[in-house]
Amino acid sequence: QQQVKQSPQSLIVQKGGISIINCAYENTAFDYFPWYQQFPGKGPALLIAIRPDVSEKKEGRFTISFNKSAKQFSLHIMDSQPGDSATYFCAASKLNTGNQFYFGTGTSLTVIP
């Protein structure tokens, strides 16, 4: 059973456009929500993360929006660049219960020049 559901599976965006990836979860015990970026042949790398006590977090062109009541969170990539072409994974974990993360199934983003 997938504890974190991610959509879309793939996304094609023009350079300069906004890329939006959505995730939803069911377990209200989750209290840490990171996003990871993975390039071909490489392991995932942390991009940005949010706690449920804030509704939005921005780092450069990357923003996480968090809706606690809807149990949804999303990644927005502003001014998308060809170098952003990668696979993105959302994830969720519970604090202080070890380091077990539940990942979404991934979104393959292609930014067309």
Task: List residues binding another protein (CB under 8 A).
Answer: 2, 6, 31-32, 34, 36, 41-46, 49, 51, 89, 91, 93-106
C-beta closer to another protein: residue 6 or 63: 6
C-beta closer to another protein: residue 96 or 113: 96
| Residue 35 in tokens | 């996003």
Among 107, 103, 86, which Cα is nearest to 25's?
103
Give the Cα separation of 75 and 64 in Å (integer): 5
Minimal distance, residue 14 CB to another protein, in Å: 26
Minimal distance, residue 16 CB to another protein, in Å: 29
C-beta closer to another protein: residue 34 or 80: 34
| Residue 83 in tokens | 């170098």
Minimal distance, residue 38 CB to another protein, in Å: 8
| Residue 74 in tokens | 């999303």
Give the Cα separation of 73 and 23 in Å (integer): 5
Residues forming beta bridges with residue 50, ordered by sequence position? 33
